[in-house]
Structure 1
Amino acid sequence: MQAGYAAGLLFLCPLGDLLPRRPFVCGLVFFTATMWLGLCITTNLSVFTAISFITAVTTVTPQLMLPLVGDLAPPNRRAAALSIVVSGLMLGVLVARVLSGTMTNFVTWRAVYWMALGLQYLIFALLWCFMPDYPATNPGMNYFRILWDIVKMLFRHPVLVQACLAGLFCSAPFTSFWTTLTFLLAGEPYHYSSLTIGLFGLIGIAGMLGSPVYARLVTDRFVPHFTVLFGLSCSLIGVCMGTYLGSFTVAGPVLQALLLDFGNQTAQIANRSAIYSIEPKRRNGVNTAFMVSTFCGQLIGTAAGNHIYAAAGWIGSGSASVGFIGAALLTIIARGPWEERWVGWRGGWSMAKKNKDSADGKTSEKTHFENGRIRDEEKAIGAEGKVLAEVAAEPGNESPLGADDEEKSSRDSKDEIRPAKI
């Protein structure tokens, strides 16, 4: 399933820049739910594996929603809006882990899959009823050109490469911790049951719920660089406490779960807020580059955590996580918030936004959508009014546009999209 999800991130998510969002998202959710039915009823391992891969490819709809939030939210409130969606996404992962672990103690694993099937069809129904039809941002672009542009963006935007590397390094400790935590709590000195270990995931919910508040009060007021440094520092403190106290007291892993989840999420939200400013009409491509690197970090964290734990125990795997977070901090420190080149701190050390209405503190942006329309459509309305006026002025067309029509055309062409307050 991990290979399928990686394929979906790389080959399906960029289509969000090419296709209208509503039919694309609804189609993916319906297809995934329908294919999921095969997982509920099949008894053949090969069929189960094949369907798992296919559903993993199409289970990327949350990654299509995040760039849409970046389009809809005002730039100076983008971090708060993104934090709400990311908190919901991460909360779903934690709750699913706890719920599935609890259910399998009382019912078969198929009951978990049947429940997931019902939830997916419920999501499809809600999207069909309430999701507006947002137009495509790049309707004439070629699919292969979109994929190639992702590669070119990595050579064109230093902030994107910085965010991708930081995302890779800070996501590895997250998956390493949650993978090896089971081994720690099941062995000496705790000997917790699988049900108790599953409930441990609820601790991370506090960190998830605190992230939107922090984003609203802090992230949107300073440059993203400040929040990334703060989030990584929280993660580093949490990993150190959990690593070197976890073998003696359960308070260590508890504090690590709280600080690591909070720090990782706030850093990722700040990075997204920064990179969504670089290519306003290619946010799905930008998000693809960021998420592929983040997903690679998750795979590295899972594999490294298991191997290092088997060789050096809890302290060994935790020390590796400290190294990953240290690498992420070095990546962020190597390039300042106002630096336009690849390395350095040109422009100063200030963490206050120079442009209060922007997401990154310096880039002026415009919101693309409101109620399913693009700002370019407003320009088209104004151009249409000019054409009608020219036609009415030609000989033989004695009836010019009425005053009401002229007033309406002028008003339509001058109206500005006002993004909703977050």
Structure 2
Amino acid sequence: MALEAGEDLNGATSTSTATSNNDNKRRFAKLRDNGVAKRIWGIVSWTPKRCRWDPESPPNFSMGLNLLFGFAATFTVANLYYNHPILNILAVEFNVSNEQAAQIPTVMQGGYAAGLLLLCPLGDIFRRRAFVLILIFFTATMWLGLCLTNSFSVFLAISFIAAVSTVTPQLMLPLVGDLAPPHRRATALSIVVSGLLLGMLIARLLSGILTQYTSWRSIYWFSFGVQYLILILLFFFMPDYPSTNPGGINYFRMLFSILKMVFKHPVLVQACLVGFLTSSIFTNYWTTLTFLLSSPPYSYDSLVIGLFALIGIGAICVGPFYSRAVIDRFVPIFSVILGLTYCLIGTIIGTYTGKHTVAGPIIQAFAIDIGIQSAQIANRSGIYAIEPKARNRVNTAYMLSVFCGQLMGTAVGNRLYAKGGWVLSGSASVGFICAALLICFAKSPWNPGWIGWKGGWGIRRRDLGPKKEEAAVEQALDDVSAEEASPGNRNEQAEVGKQADLGEKGTIHVPASHVHTS
């Protein structure tokens, strides 16, 4: 289960890679021996005793920890969206045009994309606990500048930097995929995915309400405090799980491997295309909804429009229960098709009745939120199984496609609404959903190839079952333990324990028998 130093991503041994990894370890050890660096490393790596990794008694992945990850995901991803309802206020505050103020969300989305591409793959190398805590601390500290600065240029620059490190939820999702057993993976993932979607909606809601009655800076101070709260909670309760690749991987080779995965795994390509289209539906709706509700016959103010987010929040909260009842029981593509069907029905109703009754957009909001959420959870449940040691890279490929879909949905929705109004932009979403359904039906769930219905359309999962899964995991653990019992690994782990007081005894995965999601 662990990738040996010197083994490339295709499983072939590479002497040059081994030499590079050994050189990197020696340089890192030399840096650790430096006084200041040694103290910093000790502080960053120190772990409370209750959270330390012990292969003889791995920490449980409990429902409480799952909910903590969901809470962290909600108020971390919210950083990207607090500015959306208050761009006009920020324009007045910094004495810039509305067009210049609109650069803030654009710059933050660009920073987030950079973080997805450059930072998230590192989750396949580093220990996730230390990496997550460092990123949250960095983001929270940079956020202080947004609370205090009076310069628009500085605000813009800090927004970009903070967005780059606002990718910790994307490190938590592959970790959940590692820890949750296959028959409960969708339920565990749905809690964190629900947190992500809630963050997008709650940020707009809180920002609009607080700014309506207080200064715009109050929402930024609120975010600053919540991020440090998340840091404290994770420091005391997030266990120190081992790296999936303790031997190390060349960074640039690792980035290139993301591209190779796209050409290697049909399931990943299918999920990326569906994710691209479904995310465009989501942003198209929520972007153009503001224009519809602020115009006749509704003419709602910004506070009432912001309350529409409560509809989406209600739908998202249903997600974990739906995942347990449906997604965990069937093959992922069946759950994706169900989710797209909900989206199609809701979008047709909302698009062609929205100009006449507000009930149409309300039904559409609920349908697309629960439909897109179920499709995303099912997609992740499927793709995390293809390369267990590269789940962060798999997640990066998927999230980059989702991100591009969000950009396309916003751009296409705005342009079509300007040309033909609510019906034209909604009709585009109907087309996106139909295209996604065609992609789903192009390949049966049991066909290992790129296209075709080979293997049939059986929708029930063919999992091994909990007992056989645990036996398979235990056998893999025996192999890893034999590898890590080598003198080189023992000496290295002893040195790390001495320098950082980690209290670890090995680098292996959590056995299935120690994993609990409910």
Query: TM-score, normalised on structure 1?
Result: 0.88
Q: How far apart are the structure 1 equivalents of 2:174 and 2:180?
A: 10
**8 Å Cα contact 1:25/1:64 also seen in 2:** yes
Return 5+ residue gaps in structure 1 as ranges.
369-373, 385-412
> What is the deviation of 1:327?
1.1
What are the equivalent positions in structure 2 for 1:37-48 lying under 5 Å apart?
37-48=144-155
SS of 1:104 mapped into structure 2: helix
Query: Residue 32 of structure 1 is aligned with which of 127, 130, 139?
Result: 139
> What is the deviation of 1:294?
0.4
- Does 1:336 find its partner at 2:458? no
> What is the deviation of 1:416?
5.7
> What is the deviation of 1:92?
2.2
- Does 1:355 find its partner at 2:463? yes
Q: How far apart are the structure 1 equivalents of 2:300 and 2:133?
A: 42
> What is the deviation of 1:355?
2.5
Residue identity over aligned pairs, in percent, reads 60
**8 Å Cα contact 1:22/1:134 also seen in 2:** yes
> What is the deviation of 1:329?
0.8
Aligned residues: CA RMSD: 2.2
> What is the deviation of 1:225?
1.1
> Mean alpha-carbon deviation: is it higher for 91-100 or for 302-311?
91-100
Query: Residue 277 of structure 2 is aligned with which of 169, 177, 197?
Result: 169
- Does 1:285 find its partner at 2:380? no
Q: How far apart are the structure 1 equivalents of 2:206 and 2:245?
A: 40
**8 Å Cα contact 1:367/1:419 also seen in 2:** no
Q: How far apart are the structure 1 equivalents of 2:353 and 2:464?
A: 42
> What is the deviation of 1:313?
0.3
> What is the deviation of 1:354?
2.4
Aligned residue in 1 for 2:92: none
Deviation sequence 1:290-345 (CA, Å, 0-9, x none): 00000000000011111111111000100011111111111111111011110011
Aligned residue in 2 for 1:22: 129
> What is the deviation of 1:383?
7.8
Q: How far apart are the structure 1 equivalents of 2:471 and 2:212?
A: 51
> What is the deviation of 1:220?
0.8
Aligned residue in 2 for 1:241: 349
Query: TM-score, normalised on structure 2?
Result: 0.72
Q: Which amino acid aligns with 1:39?
A: L
Query: Residue 371 of structure 2 is aligned with which of 260, 263, 266?
Result: 263
Q: How far apart are the structure 2 equivalents of 1:347 and 1:120?
A: 48
Aligned residue in 1 for 2:513: 418
**8 Å Cα contact 1:167/1:268 also seen in 2:** yes
Aligned residue in 2 for 1:99: 206
Aligned residue in 2 for 1:395: none
Aligned residue in 2 for 1:401: none
SS of 1:70 mapped into structure 2: helix
- Does 1:13 find its partner at 2:108? no
Q: How far apart are the structure 1 equivalents of 2:124 and 2:155?
A: 32
SS of 1:418 mapped into structure 2: helix
Q: How far apart are the structure 2 equivalents of 1:339 and 1:416?
A: 30
Mark the CA change 1:283 to 1:366 in structure 2 (over 3 Å): closer, same or farther. farther
Aligned residue in 1 for 2:420: 312
> Mean alpha-carbon deviation: is it higher for 375-384 or for 168-177?
375-384
Deviation sequence 1:3-32 (CA, Å, 0-9, x none): 101111111100000111011000000000
Aligned residue in 2 for 1:125: 232
Q: Which amino acid aligns with 1:105?
A: Q
Aligned residue in 1 for 2:192: 85
Q: How far apart are the structure 2 equivalents of 1:63 and 1:144?
A: 20
Return 5+ residue gaps in structure 2 as ranges.
1-107, 488-507
- Does 1:211 find its partner at 2:306? no
> What is the deviation of 1:224?
0.6
Query: Residue 294 of structure 1 is aligned with which of 399, 402, 418?
Result: 402
State the 4+ residue runs in structure 1 displaced beyond 6 angstroms. Answer: 381-384
Q: How far apart are the structure 2 equivalents of 1:168 and 1:29?
A: 27
Aligned residues: 386
Aligned residue in 2 for 1:180: 288
